[in-house]
Structure 1
Amino acid sequence: MQALLALSRAIDRLNAFVGKYSIWLIFAATFISAANAIVRKAFNYSSNGFLEVQWYLFAWSFLIAAGWTLLNREHVRIDVINSRLSKKAQVWIDIVGFALFLTPLCITILWLSVPEVIQKYTSGEMSGNPGGLIRWPVWVAIPVGITLLMLQGWSELIKRIAFLTGDGPDPMGRLADKSAEEELAEALRAEADKKQAEALAAAQR
């Protein structure tokens, strides 16, 4: 079990790294979108390639961050019934979901998508739009993203089995790392408390 937990931690680090830097793909898509609009208005020039590269970047950011999203438990969950169950029952539901639903689904998508990626790479398939881009780079995002998601599913499966055997902490507990929104809220509260204390001190003088 300790070897499996070490594997789980390695997968977590991988998806945490990917998720941390995938935001730059969104930034690049936004920058290209703004630059395309400026060039179109200023020089009356545009290209479908500018639009397609934005779609490519968005597809990459969405797909490769799927594992990071699962790591941070940010996927949509239906907790109306699940939240009323015991912790052990919730863990078992996740185990069944990761083992019997997520993993087979990911394997099926990989089975179907990898031959498509190879075919598009070998044929050099291009977009049907004038000025469009070559297709295979965006198709590669599918197996890459699904592999990261499947690995994270295995990591979460290991954590839940370890919890049931008493070898790991509660995998359903609160995450240690705060989100950007939580950090901002705490900073604002601290600033407000500081200003209130300064105002109170000034009033007592």
Structure 2
Amino acid sequence: MAALLRLTSYVDRISRFFAYIAAVLVLATCTISAFNAVSRYAFDLSSNAWLEIQWQLFAGIFMLASAHVLQVNGHVRVDMLYGSYSPRGKLWVDVFGIIFFLIPSVSVMIWLGWSFFLKSYMDAEMSSNAGGLPYWPVKALMPFGFALLLLQGLAELIKRIAALQGAQVEKIEYEALQQ
């Protein structure tokens, strides 16, 4: 189990690295959006490429940060019962959810996303807008982002099982919105 837990620390670092990239993409998106607004209203200049890059960067933010969000237990959950469970009960719910929901659904998204990207890449798919961008780079984010999420999901599964065995203490609380 110790070797698997060491492996999870590497996966955590990978997720954190791509979360930093996503944070940089947030800054880039805001900068491009502000630049685009100023150039459009102040100078009457606009470009479809600048508009399209914003939603492509948003896709990058979402796909690259999702594994880290899972790692820090910041994902959205329906907390009707989970909050009232004991720490051990929460671990079991997480193990069940990862095995029966996260892994299968993410695996399907990787499989579908790969063919979605590959067709776009083979067809050299481009935006139909004048000055538009190619679509395949942003479509590559789908299988890649879901692969990161799957990898982090497996790491979280290992951590939860280790916690159930008493090999490690796992923080299973999450930050709920304060009312």
What letter matches 1:11 in structure 2? V
**Cα shift at 1:173:** 5.3
Matched with 1:21 is: 21
Distance of aligned partners of 1:14 and 1:52 in 2 relative to their CA distance in 1, 3 Å threshold: same
- Alignment match, 2:39: 39
Match of 1:66 in 2: 66
Contact 1:49–1:133, Cα closer than 8 Å, also in 2: yes
Moved more, 12-21 or 2-11: 12-21
Aligned-residue offset at 1:61: 0.7
* Post-superposition offset of 1:170: 2.7
Distance 2:116 2:94 in 1: 31
In the other structure, the counterpart of 2:152 is 152
Question: What's the offset of the Cα at 1:130?
Answer: 2.2
Aligned equivalent of 2:134: 134
Query: Does structure 1 residue 48 correspond to structure 2 residue 38?
Result: no
Alpha carbons 2:67, 2:149 under 8 Å: kept:
yes
Contact kept in structure 1, 2:111 and 2:143, CA below 8 Å: no
Secondary structure of the residue aligned to 1:76 is coil
SS of the residue corresponding to residue 31 of structure 2 reads: helix
Partner of residue 4, structure 2: 4
Change beyond 3 A, Cα 1:139–1:64:
same
Larger displacement relative to structure 2 (149-158 or 123-132)? 123-132
Q: How far off its partner does 1:107 sit?
A: 0.6
Q: Which has the higher contact order (CA 8 A, sep 6+)?
A: 2
Bigger-Rg structure (1/2): 1
State the superposition RMSD in angstroms.
1.5
Name the count of aligned residue pairs: 175
Q: Which runs of 4+ in 1 moved over 2 A?
A: none
Cα distance in 2 between the residues matched to 1:55 and 1:137 = 12
Q: Is the 8 A contact 2:73 2:173 kept in 1?
A: no
Q: Specify the code of the residue in structure 2 equivalent to 1:117.
A: F
Flag structure 2 segments of 5+ consecutive residues without an equivalent. none
Q: Structure 2 length normalisation: TM-score?
A: 0.92
Query: Does residue 140 of structure 2 align to residue 108 of structure 1?
Result: no
Q: Which amino acid aligns with 2:126?
A: M
- Structure 1: runs of 5+ lacking an equivalent: 176-205
Percent sequence identity over aligned pairs: 41
Distance in 2 between residues matched to 1:55 and 1:89, nearest whole Å: 40
Give the partner amino acid of 2:100.
Answer: L
Judge conservation of contact 2:5–2:159 (CA < 8 Å) in 1: yes
Equivalent AA in structure 1 for residue 150 of structure 2: M
41-50 or 141-150: which moved more?
Answer: 41-50
